[in-house]
Structure 1
Amino acid sequence: MIRVALAVAAGGALGSVMRFLVASWVAGNWPRHFYLGTFAVNVLGCLLIGLLSGLFLTRSDLPLELRTGLITGVLGGFTTFSSFSLEIMKLLEGGRATEAFGYLAFSIVGGLLAAWAGLSLARLAS
């Protein structure tokens, strides 16, 4: 278990640095469209988590440390949106569409409300 946790930690560090580099590059090239860095990271992360998950379904012989380090570590550090998207796809594929769309809606609305609440609390404190 400790080897898997170390793989996740190392992957998370790598994914976080990758996210920083992509976002910095986008902001440097298109400063008016600052959000495109996050958009690019999220879409690329979704593509990669789908690709890796599909590959790992047929390659269970690959070490757990590698599989978990890449998906949970690297892609988790790169973007959690990729995990969110994969979970929704799994719910849809499992015939749980109502739950998938509820999760989608509550996550987006809940995230926006939480961000608003956090900003509001910070403004009150200053």
Structure 2
Amino acid sequence: MIQKLILVALAGAVGTLCRYGLGNLVHRWLSAGFPWGTVCVNLVGSFAFGLVWALAVQRAVIGPEARLIILTGFMGAFTTFSTFMFETGELLRGGQWLFAMGNLALQNIIGLLAVLAGMALARAL
């Protein structure tokens, strides 16, 4: 168990560094007026999550422990947006359209409001 935790943490460290590096690289290449770095990280992360998941679950090419390390450790640090998109996609694949739309609306709208509320609280302190 300790070994798994260490491997997840190490993969998380690598994911964090990759997020930082890719985000900055894209930001330097493209206009600073739009968050292209974050967009790129989220899209690459979503694609990679889907690829790893399918290889692990549908093709059985990636084992459960490697899947944990890659998806929870690396991808969790690289972008949690990929997990959000995957879970929403699973709801859609399961025919749960209302839950999928609710998940999109709840996390995006309430998430934005939470950020703004946190910023307002910090200014008020």
Scaled by the length of structure 2, the TM-score of the pair is 0.91
Number of aligned residue pairs: 125
- State the 1:19 CA deviation: 0.5
Provide the rounded CA distance (Å) in 2 between the counterparts of 1:43 and 1:62.
Answer: 22
- State the 1:91 CA deviation: 1.0
RMSD (Å), alpha carbons: 1.6
8 Å Cα contact 2:91/2:99 also seen in 1? yes
Provide the rounded CA distance (Å) in 1 between the counterparts of 2:78 and 2:47.
Answer: 12
- Matched to 1:48, the amino acid is A
Aligned residue number for residue 112 of structure 1: 112
Matches within 5 A, 1:33-72: 33-60=33-60, 62-72=62-72
Provide the rounded CA distance (Å) in 1 between the counterparts of 2:7 and 2:59.
Answer: 18
Q: Which runs of 5+ in 1 are unaligned?
A: none
Aligned residue number for residue 25 of structure 2: 25
Aligned residue number for residue 13 of structure 1: 13
Provide the rounded CA distance (Å) in 1 between the counterparts of 2:10 and 2:47.
Answer: 21
Q: Return 3-12 or 80-89, whichever deviates more.
A: 3-12
Greater RCO, 1 or 2 (C-alpha within 8 Å, sep 6+): 1
Instruction: Kindly report structure 1 stretches of 4+ aligned residues shifted beyond 6 Å.
Output: none
8 Å Cα contact 2:56/2:63 also seen in 1? no
- State the 1:117 CA deviation: 0.4
- State the 1:60 CA deviation: 4.0
User: Which secondary structure does the structure 1 equivalent of 2:32 belong to?
Assistant: helix
Q: Which runs of 5+ in 2 are unaligned?
A: none
Aligned residue number for residue 95 of structure 1: 95
Provide the rounded CA distance (Å) in 2 between the counterparts of 1:52 and 1:41.
Answer: 16
Provide the rounded CA distance (Å) in 2 between the counterparts of 1:49 and 1:112.
Answer: 24
- State the 1:73 CA deviation: 0.9
- State the 1:94 CA deviation: 1.4
Deviations 1:84-124 (A, max 9, x none): 00001111111211111111100001110000001111111
The percent identity for this pair of structures is 38
- Matched to 1:49, the amino acid is F
